[in-house]
Each structure stands twice: as structure tokens, then as C-alpha cells.
Amino acid sequence: MYNRTIVPTGFVVPEGIKTDEFVLKPLTVNNLIKDYDAVMSSQKHLQGLMGDDDDWPLGLTLEENLVDLGWHQREFTLRHSFAYSVMSKNDQQCLGCCYIYPSGKPEYDAQVFHWIRQEYLSSGLEKRLGLAFQNWLEKDWPFSRIDFPDHS
């Protein structure tokens, strides 16, 4: 867990965003099955995407995913980091996730990552998600310096 809040005390954390293609909403344990399906169907795409040195999500169990989601949910309530599920408009499928973490680099306020299901990569959805996510962060969040690590 991170040990500090990354937003000012009085800041009201946005609930999410809605677009013509998807909805961002806080990631919680209530989306366990949908999230697990998205992660497991996108293993090749996710390996190393967020700078992980391990093989995540290879071998991830449903129980381990529950722990991960609980951690993200708790971090959100502590205001230490924020994770959002990217859901289909009808809420039937988890399309991916967006993460807002404290940056380990002093020149940035936050480091952010996003991904979509591997099956949608060729549609350009991940790029559209990234643009919507970046615009939302710049418009509705208190960060002036955001690290968007390269997605390629």
C-alpha cells in the first residue's frame, strides 16, 4: 500500500466518466468475475504493461484477483491511489482498467496506466480510452504533472 494521499483533503474524487463506448467506475470487489475474465483474456497484453518485473497476471487465481481488487478498493477509500473499471455501456463486460498511482518520480504528481481487453486492441479502443482518460485527468483532477508511461 502507498502511504500518502495523492489528492488534497477537500478534493471530491470523481465517480468516473461515461462516453459513447464505455463507462469508468471505481474498481471494487463487486466486479470480481468480470474483472478476472478481462484480465485472464488479456494476459499477453498485460505482462509488463505497468512496469511489473514479474509475470503478472500469469497464474493469477480468482482468489488472488479478489485480494487485488480489495487492495485497490481500500487504496481508493484511503485516497492513496485510484483504480477504475472500464465497463461496457450496458455494464455486462469489463473492458479494462485505469489506474492513478503516486509517482515515484519527483517531477510528477501521479503516474497513470490504462489497458483494454486484448480482443479490442485492433479496434483502437485502447487509444480512445487513453485520450478520454487523459482529458478527464487534466480537466477534473488536481494534478499538474502526470506521467503517462509509453504504452507501446
For 20, 22, 94, 127, 141, the CA distances from 13, given in Å and listed in that order, are 22, 19, 21, 24, 8
C-alpha cell at 62: 480468482
pLDDT at 1 over 80: no
How confident is residue 152, by pLDDT bands cut at 50, 70 and 90?
A: very low
pLDDT at 52 over 60: no
For 84, 97, 113, the CA distances from 103, given in Å and listed in that order, are 18, 18, 11
pLDDT at 133 over 80: yes
Mean pLDDT value of segment 134-140: 96
Predicted pLDDT at 56? 78
Mean pLDDT value of segment 14-36: 97
Computed on alpha carbons and rounded to an integer, the radius of gyration of the chain in Å comes to 15
For 12, 15, 19, 54, 151, the CA distances from 50, given in Å and listed in that order, are 26, 23, 24, 11, 9
C-alpha cell at 41: 483474456
Predicted pLDDT at 51? 66
Alpha carbon distance 102, 110 (integer Å)? 5
The residue extents of the domains of the chain are: 17-147
How confident is residue 96, by pLDDT bands cut at 50, 70 and 90?
A: very high
Of 144, 129, 112, 99, give the one whose Cα is nearest residue 23: 129
pLDDT at 2 over 70: no
Q: For 17-147, which CATH superfamily applies?
A: Gcn5-related N-acetyltransferase (GNAT) (3.40.630.30)
